[in-house]
Amino acid sequence: MTVLHVVLFGFIIVAGICKGNTENLIKPRGLAPFGTKGIFDGAALVYFSYIGFDTVSTLAEEIQEPVKSLPMGIVGSMLIVTFFYCLMALSLCMMVPYDQILSEVAFAAAFEKNGWKWASNLVGAGASLGILASLLVAMLGQARYLCVIGRARLVPSWLARVHPSTGTPLNATIFLGKH
């Protein structure tokens, strides 16, 4: 699923930049119309929209060499996501002037406005898959939390049992899947 999203992000970036117009970057009120405050406000919003990176730390028990791998994974994922966010923002702003961006369906509406209805549908399908991926990642972290809470006997201890060969919290995962 991650590979599909990366391919979709690549498509959005390339198609948006190719289909877009650099004049949209300075219309209607010039480059950075809200000044540095607008840039920092936008950066803060983007930072807090990427909240899944902390879920990686819940997998520390299952990672080989977590002291080395965990920081590299967290920092690496933050850099990759930042790179994609910046290029996607550039492609969106090239397709549509900033004052015409529809925040709820930004990329889908931008492609539709540029005459690519099929790309709009593709982006919508990708967004739906993104919701599913987010749900799976949330369950991944929550199962580990339940396992630790089960070890502390704050919830039934059978939630703390892990699969003998994989070391994953099987009971907690099944419990979350059912509820």
* Per-residue H/E/C for the chain: CHHHHHHHHHHHHHHHHHHCCHHHHCCCCCCCCCHHHHHHHHHHHHHHHCCHHHHHHHHHHHCCCHHHHHHHHHHHHHHHHHHHHHHHHHHHHHHCCHHHCCCCCHHHHHHHHCCCHHHHHHHHHHHHHHHHHHHHHHHHHHHHHHHHHHHCCCCCHHHHCCCCCCCCCHHHHHHHHHC
Higher pLDDT, 92 or 25: 92
pTM equals: 0.78
Higher pLDDT, 74 or 51: 74
Please determine, for residue 3, whether its predicted confidence score (pLDDT) is greater than 70. yes
Q: Stretch 91-102: mean pLDDT, rounded? A: 91
Q: What percent of the chain has pLDDT over 70?
A: 97
